[in-house]
């Protein structure tokens, strides 16, 4: 009888024994991690040191360097809104120059940037003569309103760097449109680079004038405020410079194909 009871209890005893054997293994596996780090017993993860990548460090540094001063707080020193507008105007002027002067497609507006030097001063060609398209291969400039400037206008067209060879017929200047060659495209891309460099020069002047105005207010304000303002102005200029480079890259790609 006792033997029968023992046979009935044997499965239960085996299960209990298995649980007892398993639990130390589990516990051992949970505490085995500290063996990798003898100095820590409770938090083995503390031994793992995470290193930031160079890219992450550079990004963090750039974010930390950014300044954003509310313009109303420093309006007695300088108008940041006006500085921003002046810098944006430089970028907009470059975009306008690119559109008017660097188009591969022929149009009367392609000659608008040409400046004619006369005895009375310098004037845009379209103020002295009426520019029109005779055909896709020919532009006509009617100089009847200022016939005395015909020779000067012809010289300006020939020296424009657009590979033009104008012909004069009385007060009419005929401007044959040269075929768009690879050389012409390359010349236009060089002009785009020159225009972008001039835009950056203008941008630097705007930044320098703004910084000079800020420095004049040093006596009545803290050095920290002046320094932060200078940083913000530089930051604004850097942003516009990046946009200028983007405009140049896009126009160069368009011109060279």
Q: What is the CATH number of the domain that holds 152?
A: 3.30.1360.40
Same domain as 242, residue 131: no
* Among 120, 122, 168, residue whose Cα is nearest residue 142: 168
Who has greater pLDDT, 211 or 113? 211
Continuous segment of H or E residues that includes residue 138: strand 138-142
Contact between 233 and 83 (Cβ < 8 Å): yes
The pLDDT value given to residue 11: 54
Same domain as 249, residue 187: yes
Residue 8 belongs to some domain of the structure: no
Same domain as 85, residue 113: no
Residue 87 belongs to some domain of the structure: yes
The pLDDT value given to residue 32: 38
Residue 28: both structure tokens together: 């051992």
The contacts of residue 157 (CB under 8 Å, 6+ apart) are 111, 114, 125, 141, 164, 166, 173, 175
Same domain as 218, residue 132: no
Residue 225: both structure tokens together: 């405020």
Q: 211 lies in which domain range? A: 71-103+181-256
Q: What is the pLDDT of residues 21-47, one digit of tens each?
A: 454 444 434 433 333 334 444 444 443
Residue identified by tokens 């940083």 is: 231
Residue 43 belongs to some domain of the structure: no
- Does the model's pTM come out above 0.85? no
User: Domain boundary at 145, 161, 176, which?
Assistant: 176
Whole-number Å distance between alpha carbons of 96 and 146: 27
User: Mean pLDDT across the stretch 69-85?
Assistant: 81
Torsion of CA 197, 120, 157, 251, to 10 degrees: 20
Same domain as 200, residue 146: no
């Amino acid at each position: 009888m006792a033997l029968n009871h023992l046979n009935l209890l044997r499965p239960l005893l085996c299960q209990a024994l298995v649980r007892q054997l398993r639990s130390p293994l589990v516990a051992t596996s949970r505490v085995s991690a500290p063996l990798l780090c003898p100095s820590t017993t409770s938090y083995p993860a503390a031994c793992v040191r995470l290193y930031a990548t160079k890219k992450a460090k550079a990004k963090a540094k750039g974010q930390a360097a950014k300044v954003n001063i509310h313009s109303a707080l420093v309006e007695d020193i300088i108008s940041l809104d006006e500085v921003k507008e002046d810098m944006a105007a430089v970028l907009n002027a470059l975009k306008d120059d690119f559109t008017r002067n660097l188009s591969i497609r022929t149009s009367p507006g392609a000659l608008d940037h040409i400046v004619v030097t006369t005895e009375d001063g310098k004037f845009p060609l379209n103020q002295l003569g009426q520019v029109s398209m005779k055909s896709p291969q020919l532009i006509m400039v009617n100089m009847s309103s200022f016939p005395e400037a015909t020779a000067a206008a012809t010289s300006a067209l020939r020296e424009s760097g657009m590979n033009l060879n104008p012909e004069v017929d009385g007060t009419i200047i005929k401007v044959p449109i040269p075929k768009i060659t690879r050389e012409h495209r390359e010349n236009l891309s060089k002009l785009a680079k020159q225009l972008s460099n001039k835009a950056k020069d203008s941008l630097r002047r705007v930044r320098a004038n703004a910084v000079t105005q800020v420095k004049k207010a040093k006596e009545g304000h803290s050095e920290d405020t002046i320094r932060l303002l200078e940083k913000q102005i530089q930051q604004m200029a850097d942003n516009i410079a990046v946009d200028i480079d983007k405009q140049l890259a896009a126009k160069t790609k368009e011109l060279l194909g």
